[in-house]
Amino acid sequence: MAREGTTPPSSSGSGKNKLPPLAGSLLLAHPTMNDGPFRRSVILLPAHDENGSMGIVLNQPLHKCVGEISSEFAFNSLSEVPVFSGGPVAADKLMFCAWRMHGQGIGFQLMFGIDPEKAMALQYEHGMHLRAFFGYAGWDAGQLERELRQNTWIVMPLLPDLLEETDAGAGTGDALWRKMLAKLGPRWSVIAGEPDDPQRN
């Protein structure tokens, strides 16, 4: 799992070892993950190389806006930006993140850890979505690969409409995890629909 103190890896590696094409993918917590901070999480993984991996949890809203968190932003254009828990690393630090899909839904542009001035400039650009996060998820070199071999995570491609669906707090929490899991096929759809307490089924 992501650990305190892990720093984001660089976006480019030496190329000596071929790595799985994970950057730009989604990680879904496996249904067998019954506890911990990543239970039923949906993580966007913008960086992955031989030095480690870095991601942000998309479906843990704090149900607050930036203006409610900090008086510094109470009266500017960032006041209504929704705030999420992005992960356990640097969880006391508020960071802004902006993204948008490229044309025809092929690939996306992600800017993480941008300063407030840059965030204000970006928020009105066409197709841009803006969020604030407390913390992020980080893995040391080789750690995520080990967790994937242990079936801790399910990897799926970033769907063109996902970032729009989750904008402003829509489709978050367990509902987003269940929705993404159901897209993997009938078997996963059944698992996604199971209640927390099997005795209630």
Nearest in space to 55 (alpha carbons), one of 182, 153, 126: 153
- Write down the residue that tokens 């059944």 correspond to: 190
Could you tell me the fold of the domain covering 25-91+135-163? VC0467-like (3.40.1740)
- Give Cα separations from 125 to 84, 89, 115, 122, 198 (angstroms): 22, 29, 16, 5, 46
Question: What's the pLDDT score for residue 114?
Answer: 93
Residue 86 C-beta-side C-alpha neighbours within 13 Å: 27
Write the CB contacts of 144 (distance below 8 Å, at least 6 apart in sequence).
Answer: 22, 48, 52, 53, 153
> For residue range 138-188, what is the model confidence (pLDDT) as tens digits?
999 999 999 999 999 999 987 766 666 665 444 568 888 998 888 888 888
Whether pLDDT at 6 is above 60: no
User: Would you say residue 133 has pLDDT above 80?
Assistant: yes
Q: Rounded CA gap, 64 and 85, in Å? A: 11
Nearest to 5 by CA among 69, 74, 91: 91
